[in-house]
Every structure is written in C-alpha cells, then in structure tokens.
Structure 1
Amino acid sequence: MSDRGYRRPRPLSPVREHLRDTFWFAPTLGLLSTFVLWWIASTLDTEIVAHLQDEGAYEEVRDLISFTADAKTIVTTISSAMMTFIGVVFSISLVAVQMASGQLTPRVVRIFVRSRISKLTLTVFLATFTFSLLVLTSYESETDPRQVTSVPLLQSLLTLGMVGLSLLLFIAYVSSTLRLMQVGPVVDHITRHSFRVLGRMPVGPPVEEPLAAETAQIMHWGRAGVLQDVNVARLVRAARRQGVVLRLIPRIGDFVVPGTPVLAVHGGAAPPRRALRYTISVGVERTLHQDLAFGLRQLSDIALRALSTAVNDPTTAVQCLDRIVQFLAAVVGRPLGTVHHRDGRGEVRLVQDVPGWTDLVDLAFEEIRWCSVGSPQVSRRLLAGIGDLMLLAPESRRKPLVRHRALLVQAVERTVPEAAEREFALYPDHQGIG
C-alpha cells in the first residue's frame, strides 16, 4: 500500500540536489562534451575531404579551403573575445548577487547558485571559447586540394552556431538576473520551492500503532554541520532488509556534531554501517531540498531586514507576508509533526520529525510581529493574514493564531498613544495600506 499523493523518493535524488548546489559540475561536464564534439566534427571533416578526393572533386575541396580560410578570421576573433566577454558578464553577475544579498538576505545567494540559466550560460560560453581554440588547431597551411588532409568545415559552422546560441543565452541570462534582483520574483521562487518540499512529504492515513521499543541508537560519525537532507529511499531499504523501523532524531535543519545520535532503531538490531553509508547529508548551511521550515525562515529574514531602521521598507515585508500566509494556508489542513515513510508493502520503515503547525506559525509571525509595531502597513497586513487563516484553520489549530493576534493588539496599544492611530494600525488590510 502506498500513500496517495506521495511521490516515492528516487535513490539519486539527494545526489542530484547536491550537484545543483554546486557551480562547477555543469561547466565541467560541458567542457568534456566540447572535446567529444570537436573530435566527432574533426573526424567528419577528415572523412568529407577524403571522400571528395577519392571522387576526384578537387574543385569542391578548393572551394571548402577558400570558405574555411574566410571563416578562420571569424573563429580567431571569437577565441580572443570570448574570454573577455565571459569576464564582463559574470562580473555583472557578482555585483547583482552582492546587491541582492545585501538588500534581502544572504540566504538568497543560493538561488543564484542553483539558477539553471546561469549555469547553462557559463557552460555554453566556456564551451564556445574552448571549441574555437580547438578549431584553430585544425586549420592547415596546405592549400593544394590534393595534399590537404582535413578542412574544418563542420567545425567552423559549429563555432558560428555556438556563438549564436551564446548571444541568445546572454539575453536570457540578463533577463533572469534582473528578475532575481527584484523582491517579487525572489519571494515567489522561495515559495514555489517550499511547496515542492511540501509536495514530497507523504500524505496518508495516520499511523495509530505505537513504535516498538527503542533497541539501539546510531551516532553521527561525520563532520559537524547542518543536517541538510537524508536519503529516504536508502534508509527505507536498509530498515526493510533489517526488519526494523528507523527514527530520525534531529530535524532537517538542525546542527549536529559528531558523537550525537541521529537515528534510533526500533524493533531489532541496527542495520550494518555500510547499509547506512551516504544516508545522512551534513553541510555548512540549510537547504530547501527537504527542509519544510527553511522557506519560511528565508521569507521572515527578508521581512525583518526590510523592517530594520537601516532599510525601512515595509512594502517588502508585506510582500513576504503575502507568501507566508499563502504557505500557511496550504498546510493548515495537513497532518504535521511526524512523517512516516513506508516501503513497497506499505509498512512504516522511517519516522521523521517535522515542524508542527504551532512551530510554523511561530516561525512565520513571531519576529515579524515584534518589528511591525511601528509600521501600520505591516500590522494591518498581519492582522488580515491571521484573519484569513482563522477562517481556514480547524478549531484545533486556531490557538496559536489567536495568541499572535492578541499579542499584536497588545503591543500596538502599548506603543501607539493616540486612539485614532491605534484604530488605524489595527484595521485588517490585505494590502497593508492600499
């Protein structure tokens, strides 16, 4: 029995996510592919010339030599200018990253690192530069159509095609970079990735049977750092083979140190260490791969920086609150607190602790509420968002919403002396001050 609405994790999913968090993999793969493409094109060019010479079509070979001689000037220009072009483009990109991290939050730098268009642009630029250098080595000084062994016809045409592709990607890259410097696209990007994390969580009937007694604990033997993700498929497979249930002790996003327990074993002996190798991923910072709360943490950080006296941009805080309310509205009716991962037979094999409803509400509203007292635009939007969630939340989940609303009202009443100003600041408004 499989959980409805749950996409079972693929074994290579953590590897793919970790490669997306790097900026070297795609360009390196592109450079290796460039050498393969050049070798294929060079071989075809040699076969074309050999075929024409066998047919006695020396006039056609002479025409090819004349064409590639003209193309050589273009290829030489491309090879000399491409690296300068790469330096200018990515200098602009570093400035954009610095501005975005300073105005929003340093956590948004990861958006630029994971950007597919940025990696594709760098890959194609480097591939064009490398390919043009390789093509220059294929030109021969021999002009006699009977003696020439290869004419880089396909190589020259491919170089021109890669230049055209580079120009198109440059336009797309600039457009994408400009979008990521705006608040709206950034918070939308964070929200969409948060929903992807939510979509990967199992949705099924609650587990009523309690876990068997804890029989062992598995300690963390790697480096200290933030628990970024776990290989769910590998852990479920190891637990199934051993006939036990594994329970992840820390939450995703917790900082773990060597010697502390990370997995508890229920119902039998612990799986062998080799079966648990590469199942726990620890890094220097949190990621959005499996961390349900990290999206709210980023949105809250952006709102807090916007509400600081140095920035004083309540409109940005309102935009963050829009997305925070959107995310909370999506999880208000979902079971939270504990996630049960099942094997192919429907048996629970991995139990994982995730933030509960109260945890998410506190993360979303607590710090923003403290900073919103002096900004009626934010307090009005916060009250409107809490009101919307009150309508959607079942009775059992209204208590933290009521508490935050009451605390906000009390804070405004203590801080704002004028009754008219208090009434204005406590009037719910979905646009803050429209």
Structure 2
Amino acid sequence: MLSPLREHLRDTFWFAPSAALALVCVLWLLAHWLDTAIVDELHRQQEYEAITDLIGLVDDLKTVVTTVSSAMMTFIGVVFSISLVAVQMASGLTPRVVRIFVRSRITKLTFAVFLSTFALSLLVLTSYSGETDPRRVDSVPVTQSVLTIVMVALSLLLFIAYVNATLRLMRVGHVVERITAEAFQVLHKMPRGGVDGDELPGESGQVGHSGRAGLLRDVNIARLVRAARRQDVVLRLIPRIGDFVVPGTPVLAVHGGRAPSRGALGYTVSVGVERTFHQDLGFGLRQLGDIALRALSPAVNDPTTAVQCLDRIEQLLAALAHLPLGSVGHRDRQGTVRLVQPVPSWGDFVDLGFAEIRTYAIGSPQVTRRLMAALDELLRLAPPERAEPLLRHRALLVQAVERSVPESAERAFALEGDRQGIG
C-alpha cells in the first residue's frame, strides 16, 4: 500500500484550494506571456489595425472581468453558507460523518475553482493599461480575459454539481451508502492472507511510540515493509488501528533479529484526534452504529433510519464472513511476510455491529424484527465456526424482548424476522 500522505491530504480542506490558487497564478503568467507574444508579433508585422481591434475587444471584456471580480466573493459566501448548513445537519446524525463533507471532492473543487476565478480576475485587472495607441501597447490581455470567462463558466457548472451533491449528502440514506462504500474500499485493499502468530520467529524486542498522544490513524505499510526487509526481520504492529496510544506505548514488536533504526522507522506511524477510513476496517461499522443509536434515542425516535443502518451492517458482515481475520500479513517483493497487522476478529465485528443497537432497540419492534432477520441471514451465510457470536446476540435479543414485552403476541411479533423491519 502506498504512503498514507494522499489520504491525510484528503482529510484536510486547505490543500486543494491552495494548490488551485498556485496553479491559477501559473496559468495567468502563461496567458500574460501569450498576450505579450501576440502583440509583439503584430508589432513585427506592423498590423496596428489588428492591435486596435484587440484593444476594443478587451475594453468590452473588461466590464465582464470587473463584474466577476466584485461578484465572485459573494458567490463564495453563498457556497460557504450552504456548506455550513449541510455540515450542521449531518452532525445531527453523528459528528463522525462530518468528515464526508471535508473529504468531498466536489466541495473542494468548487471552492478551489471559485477562489481561483476571483484571484484570476484580480490578476487580469492589473494587466489593463488603458493605453489606446497601438504603437505603444506592449500587451493586450485578450487571452487572460477569455481565460477568466472560461473560469466563470466552469464555476457555474460546478455550482450546479455542488448543490446537487450537497443535497444528496443531506439525506441519511445517501450518507449511509457513502459510509458503506468507503468501508468496502478499505476491505478490498486488505491483504487476503491471514497470519498465525505462532508461526513468527521469537520476539526480540519492541519499539515504543515516540510521537504525540492520539488515536492510531494508519501506518506507512510500504515503509515498514522496506525497513523490515533491510533488517531481515518481521515487524508486528501491536495496537490496532483506532487504538489510543501515548508516548512510550509499544507499537511495534520485532521478530527474528534487531529492530530497525529510528531513522528507518520514522514517519511510519500516524496518530490524530479522530479515526479515518484509510486502514480502519471497523470504522464503517462504528459510524453506522452511531447513526442507528442516534436514530433510536428518545429525542429522535427514528427506527426507519436504524433499519437502514442495519441493512448496511448486514452487508458488511456478510462480506467479512469468509475472510481471514485477526491478523493480516504484508509481504515484500519476494513474497516474505514482513509486517503483521492486527485487525478485529469476527466476533469483534459482530459485537461492533449489533451489541449497542440490540441494547437500545428493545421497545421498537421494527428494529428488533430487522435485527432478527439480519442475524438469521448471517447465520445462513457464515461458516459454522463463526456462528457462536451470532447465536449469542440472537439469544440476548430474545431474552431482552421477553423481559421487556409482557404480552406473548407482542413478543412473537417483535421477534419475527423481517428484512424491512415491518414490511
């Protein structure tokens, strides 16, 4: 897997607009050079009438560029206001889904193009000299003005796409779908080969965390594999992605030799204030569970949203049912395992997906019926050796409903599996 730098930049909002502003300055310099070259060529050919025509055209375009310069900041304010409203509504589902807006490509692209258009219009205005004598004109900003109009047209198209994307992200069904899609991206990147810890060479040392405290967001797998290959050892990540680590916490165990140098292990472990999807298999289930719990709270009382989350939780668990879990191995080019990374076990995933929802679903037959259907379906799909946690949650659900619902008919209704909850 490549360096997580790209994923870290996607979790920031400053990089794309900053890069766009730098790029538009380069484009303006190229356009300015092209305008100067055109006028120089016309001077060389003594086409002064053509220069006069260009000056007249630019005078007309200057009005458009001036209008764009004054109106674009207002347009940016409108987009920013829409984003704040969308983020506020999304945080009502769970604060952890706000990252969807931060990582949204269309949002970053829209802001980047709008800011670039505004900056370009200011730069173009500096190129208008007001000189009308074609023999004394050094440059006529025709290309720059046309480029500004093209950027305005692109801004309008992106605004339409941005509004459409933002309205979709304000719908809980689409948010749940996005979370599921990102969880499957992590799942598809995960190595398929499980690793038995008993097969590793004896542990010869440990490497402690030397950075700031925080949640383990991801590790630079490629760099760790290279360091282990050069030292001819196997490294084993001790905490799981998402664990909280403090300075001194053992993060790497070394098997089969001496630990790589601190320099070789530099910038291999990344911590932060919140979890990310980059290498975190359980983060998708965590977010879906949080949305379902918020929907089941007395203040919201929205069991249909909880059922939507259970649909996706079942989908994720069905995909995990036949995969080797517990630990995965990352190999070097020769096929030798050089890094062992712990991942949650099958029981951990089942608990993460169902434990809290099962606890708070009592009293909502729509949710208990959907939960019963999900457990029955996963019992059918999962291998027999993975049935235990599913049977445990099924038994606990039955016991909780029997304690809370005194009427036998209501109990039977609440415990009848239904893939729509109440369909």
Partner of 2:160: 171
**1:156 Cα deviation after fit:** 0.6
Letter in 1 for 2:297: S
1:352 counterpart SS class:
strand
1:277 partnered with 2:258: no
The aligned counterpart of 1:183 is 172
Aligned 1:212-231 pairs, distance under 5 A = 212-231=201-220
Once the two structures are TM-superposed, the CA of residue 432 in structure 1 deviates from its matched residue by 0.3
Q: How does 1:6-405 map to 2 (within 5 A)?
A: 9-10=1-2, 12=3, 14-102=4-92, 104-204=93-193, 210-405=199-394
Q: Structure 1's 83 and 208: CA in aligned 2 closer, same or farther, altered over 3 A?
A: closer
- Root-mean-square deviation over aligned CA pairs: 1.0
Residue number in structure 1 paired with 2:407: 418
TM-fit CA distance, 1:90: 0.7
SS at match of 2:263: helix
**What is the TM-score with the length of structure 1 in the denominator?**
0.96
Q: Distance in 1 between matches of 2:158 and 2:91?
A: 24
Structure 1 distance, partners of 2:25, 2:169, is: 33
Letter in 2 for 1:203: R
Structure 1: 5+ residue runs without aligned partners? Answer: 1-8
Gaps of 5+ in 2: none
Aligned equivalents of 1:108, 1:189: Cα separation in 2: 10
Deviation of 1:43 after TM superposition, in Å, equals 0.6
Q: Kindly tell me the number of residue pairs found equivalent between the two proteins.
A: 423
State the shift of 1:204 in Å.
3.0
- 1:419 deviates by 1.2
Normalization by structure 2: what TM-score? 0.99
Task: Look up the SS of the partner of 1:78 in the other structure.
Answer: helix
| Partner Cα distance (2:222, 2:45) in 1 | 60
Paired letter, 2:10: R
Superposed CA deviations along residues 364-395 of structure 1, whole A, max 9, x for unmatched, are 00000001111000000000111110110111
- Against the structure 1 CA distance between its residues 128 and 286, is the aligned structure 2 distance closer, same or farther, given a 3 Å change threshold? same
- Asked if 1:430 is matched to 2:412, the reply is no
- When residues 207 and 415 of structure 1 are mapped into structure 2, their CA distance, relative to the original with a 3 A threshold, is closer
Counterparts of 1:265 and 1:239, CA distance in 2? 9
For residues 417 and 88 of structure 1, the distance between their equivalents in structure 2, rounded to whole angstroms, comes to 55
Mapped contact 2:193–2:324 kept (Cα < 8 A): no
What per-residue deviation string (whole Å, max 9, x for no partner) do you get for residues 406-429 of structure 1?
Answer: 111111111111111111111110
Distance 2:197 2:175 in 1: 40
CA displacement, residues 44-79 of structure 1 (integer Å, 9 cap, x when unaligned): 001111111211211111111001101101100100
Aligned in 2, Cα 1:223/1:403: closer, same or farther, shift over 3 Å?
A: same
SS in 2 for 1:274: coil
CA-to-partner distance for each residue in 1:307-347, whole Å, 9 max, x for gaps? 00000000000000000000000010111001111111111
Letter in 1 for 2:86: A
- Tell me the secondary structure at the aligned position of residue 48 of structure 1: helix
TM-aligned CA deviation for residue 206 of structure 1 = 5.2
Give the partner amino acid of 2:346. Answer: W
Structure-1 separation of matches of 2:196 and 2:202: 16
User: 1:407 and 1:239 mapped to 2: Cα distance?
Assistant: 45
SS at match of 1:387: helix
* Distance in structure 1 (CA, Å) of the matches to 2:210 and 2:196: 31
Q: CA deviation at 1:92?
A: 1.5
Secondary structure of 2:206's counterpart equals strand
SS in 2 for 1:273: coil
